[in-house]
Amino acid sequence: MRTTVGIIGAGPAGLLLARLLHGAGVDSVVLEARDRAYVEQRQRAGILEQGTADVLRAAGAGARMDREGLRHDGIELRFDRRRHRVDLSALTGGRSVMVYAQTEVCKDLVALRLADGGPLLFGAEALAVEGAGTDAPRVRFRHRGREDVLECDYVAGCDGFRGVSRRAVPAGVSRVFERTYPFGWLGVLADVPPSHDELVYARHDRGFALLSMRSPSVSRLYLQVPGGTQPKEWSDEDVWRELERRLETADDWTLRRGPVTQKSVTPLRSYVHEPMRYGRLFLAGDAAHIVPPTGAKGLNLAVGDAVTLARALGHRKETGSDELLDAYSATCLRRVWQAERFSNDLTALLHRAPDATAFEDRLQLARLERIASSRAAGTDLAEAYTGFPLEGGADAAAADG
Ligand code: APR
Ligand code: PHB
């Protein structure tokens, strides 16, 4: 099999890249290890920065998002049983975020890919990327029990944190920067209308809690839990009681309970692999970087990488110039490190470390007070939360998508 761009992985990074390349007249083949149902059902975060929503619209993938997604102009910070609304729009000159689940983004992009007629092979597991440093890279993969080879001009490693593409970068070239956190998030999905119309981020002596949502009738809730926690250690009753404690306010706010339909634990990790390009292999999304989920930047970074790579490959096709491909890693990493910084800061602001001292507790509260009382501090949070603009603008790569 032969194509211009071999894309490994049909998460948001790979699917969006395929769609943008189609719009730019560049052919690609997408190899996805899992089946379609799995890709469309996997629970992930669901906050789209304004720039991400703009990219999806420009790529022709925004119609259902605009119908069913929920635009949010603010978030609430809760600490000391008090509530502070961060008015994202007022602080950023009108920017907002969109609540629309990553699974829905993937469904929309899979449907577009199939309509575009471009190859998207489910159950096709990449085994290795070979010849990344040559002009003729290849992806060895297994599909329906048979081994095959995809010959490409370029390979896009969009295969997530546990994929194989990163391994094709020689050890002497790779640099890894990482941090693990001594806690995770226990997440539940519940069939109950959200108890607040905006997201609530709570700092509590017992640990962080987050009230989020998937739709007007489905809540998504999270609790900070010790590292290594198993979901079955928490009964539904335990989860609700702990959420009530951590989200409690001095006023008459109450938490609505409902049937829990899913429960899982995610570890928290920060990770960056540099460079994001080796020869003709380009890493995008979780294959290159992980952020802790506080602030929900993961999907937004994956989208930024896909846009940057599609633009560079389109530029190469139009002009024959490698200039943007050569700049790919540095361009992406500038944005990646801002998201790493923000996600780490927001995590530190809201979580309670197992060995936290009373002094650190007071510092956290002072930082939250500062955000609540200073427009400058609030603006700093609001700008990062709604997202830094993509270099070159959202519609440059997606214009004809
Ligand atoms: N061969 C083919 N496909 C693979 C392989 C492989 N060897 N390994 C992994 N994959 C597939 C996975 O099954 C998955 O569908 O690659 C895809 C990677 O998708 P994601 O993990 O969603 O990664 P990405 O597209 O970068 O999106 C990042 O996902 O984890 C969240 O918070 C993160 O929101 C962010 C987003
Ligand atoms: C989610 O809804 O899954 C979510 C929302 C906000 C975050 C993280 C996760 O900061």
CA 156, CA 30: separation in Å to the nearest integer? Answer: 9
Q: Which residues contact 241 (CB under 8 A, 6 or more apart)?
A: none
In three-state secondary structure terms, 72 is: strand
Is 354 domain-assigned?
A: yes
Catalytic residue among 100, 154, 181, 201: 201
181 is catalytic: no
Is 134 domain-assigned?
A: yes
- CATH code for the domain of 122: 3.50.50.60
Reading the chain (401 residues) residue by residue, the pLDDT tens digits are 999 999 999 999 999 999 999 999 999 999 999 999 999 988 888 899 999 999 999 999 999 999 999 999 999 999 999 999 999 999 999 999 999 999 999 999 999 999 999 899 999 999 999 999 999 999 999 999 999 999 999 999 999 999 999 999 999 999 999 999 999 999 999 999 999 999 999 999 999 999 999 999 999 999 999 999 999 999 999 999 999 999 999 999 999 999 999 999 999 999 999 999 999 999 999 999 999 999 999 999 999 999 999 999 999 999 999 999 999 999 999 999 999 999 999 999 999 999 999 999 999 999 999 999 999 999 999 999 999 877 765 544 444 33
154 is catalytic: no
Facing residues of 129 across strands? 139
72 is catalytic: yes
Q: Which atom of ligand 2 is nearest to the CA of 220?
A: 2
Phi–psi pair at 30, nearest 5 degrees: -105, 125
45, 102 in Cβ contact below 8 A?
Answer: yes
Is 200 domain-assigned?
A: no
| Ligand 2 pocket residues where CB is under 6 Å | 45-47, 199, 212, 220, 293-296
User: Ligand 2 center to residue 196 CA distance, Å?
Assistant: 14
293 is catalytic: yes
Is 331 domain-assigned?
A: yes
**pLDDT of the residue at 389:** 77
Q: Which atom of ligand 2 is nearest to the CA of 201?
A: 10
Judged by phi (left if over 0) then psi (alpha if -120 to 50, else beta), residue 26 lies in beta
Residues across the chain? 401
Task: Establish how many alpha carbons lie within 13 A of residue 270's alpha carbon, considering only the half-sphere containing its beta carbon.
Answer: 20
User: Ligand 1 center to residue 136 CA distance, Å?
Assistant: 24
Q: Which residue has the tokens 């956290």?
A: 364
Q: Which of 341, 332, 323, 329 is nearest to 305 (CA)?
A: 332
- In the chain, the N- to C-terminal Cα span, in Å, equals 25
Is 203 domain-assigned?
A: no
107 is catalytic: no
CA 269, CA 287: separation in Å to the nearest integer? Answer: 13
**pTM, whole model, 2 decimals?**
0.96
CA 47, CA 111: separation in Å to the nearest integer? Answer: 21
User: Ligand 2 center to residue 273 CA distance, Å?
Assistant: 24
Is 170 domain-assigned?
A: yes
Is 78 domain-assigned?
A: yes
Structural domain harbouring 9: 5-178+268-398
Is 10 domain-assigned?
A: yes
Catalytic residue among 204, 289, 297, 351: 297
Domain tally for the chain?
A: 1
